[in-house]
Amino acid sequence: GMGSEVAWLLEAVDFAARKHKEQRRKDPEGTPYINHPIAVARILAHEAGVTDLVVLQVTPCPACPALPGPRTALPEPRTAPRAPPPQAALLHDTLEDTATTPAELEARFGAAVRRVVEEVTDDKRLPKAERKRLQIERAPACSRRAKLVKLADKLHNLRDLNRCTPQGWSEERVQEYFRWAARVVAGLRGTSAALEGALQRLFEERGVPT
Ligand code: NDP
Ligand code: ZN
């Protein structure tokens, strides 16, 4: 029911906030990092129409009567769900940027959330240029849920770059980030007209080919 959806959402917000608590964004104000995953989840809800908070079945958790779950590992639904679990958006940078493990995500939020977060996580053992190349190459094969999170993630990062330039970044570096993002987004087409339209306008404003 509605009550448990809200409880789950808060569980993910609280988990992500604690994991990212020492981190800051790259903008000159050093905005707390958690603002970004929250903004990505908000973009999904407000601009992509992703309002379905819980798309997976939950089982009651005996240890915690207020919360359902942890979610059991369910087989993938036969038809692609419209919405990703919003937890995936809130948690999308926990594997990449904090000490969180996939097992920890699965135990708390279930296998589906863990899978989506893994799909949007770069392998930090690889050199940066290789990670960037792999994002372009692997975007088309991502699940619909991961594509939605990736679109909202890129949209928020590009809006952040338009709002203000990170410390130490030249205009050319910002422009290069837009060009790279356009190549990733090209592999995410057919996922959300609203998000793709918003991204398209940002690329056009910069004269970036799409
Ligand atoms: P980075 O990957 O270093 O930085 C961008 C990432 O930082 C985003 O994807 C986002 O990731 C995170 N982030 C944190 N704060 C912000 C913010 N305020 N606004 C936007 N994103 C933020 O950038 P790149 O290395 O890709 O730089 C862009 C281009 O410039 C590259 O193509 C590179 O070749 C070139 N370049 C790179 C230099 C370098 O030293 N690396 C130097 C000169 C040019 P998340 O969603 O995970 O938070
Ligand atoms: Zn992100």
118 given a catalytic annotation: no
Closest atom of ligand 1 relative to the 122 alpha carbon: 47
Structure tokens at 69: 């779950």
What is the residue whose two structure tokens read 């949209």? 155
Residue 83: pLDDT band (50, 70, 90) is very low
What pLDDT score does 71 carry?
43
In the predicted model, is pLDDT for residue 29 greater than 90?
yes
Could you read off the pLDDT of 134-143 as tens digits, one per residue? 999 999 999 9
What pLDDT score does 50 carry?
82
Structure tokens at 9: 């959402």
Ligand found nearest the CA of 169: 1
More confident residue, 59 or 138: 138
Residue 92 CA to ligand 2 centre (angstroms): 6
Which of 122, 157, 178, 184 for mutating ligand 1's site (highest number of atoms within 8 Å of CB)?
A: 157
| CB of 157 sitting under 6 A from ligand 1 | yes
**Residue located nearest, by CA, to atom 36 of ligand 1:** 173
**Residue located nearest, by CA, to atom 41 of ligand 1:** 128
Q: What is the ipTM of this complex?
A: 0.91
Residue 160 CA to ligand 1 centre (angstroms): 11
Mean pLDDT of the chain: 85
pTM: 0.87
Residue 204: pLDDT band (50, 70, 90) is very high
Per DSSP, the residues of the chain read -HHHHHHHHHHHHHHHHHHTTT-B-SSTT--BTTHHHHHHHHHHHHHS-------S---B-TT-TTSB-PPP-PPPPSS--SS--HHHHHTTTHHHHSS--HHHHHHHH-HHHHHHHHHT---TTS-HHHHHHHHHHHGGGS-HHHHHHHHHHHHHHHHHHHH-PPTT--HHHHHHHHHHHHHHHHTT-SS-HHHHHHHHHHHHHTT---
**How far apart (Å, rounded) are the C-alpha atoms in residues 85 and 51?**
9
Could you read off the pLDDT of 101-135 as tens digits, one per residue? 999 999 998 888 899 999 999 999 999 999 999 99
Residue 84: pLDDT band (50, 70, 90) is low
Residue 188 and residue 198 in contact, taking contact as beta carbons nearer than 8 Å: no
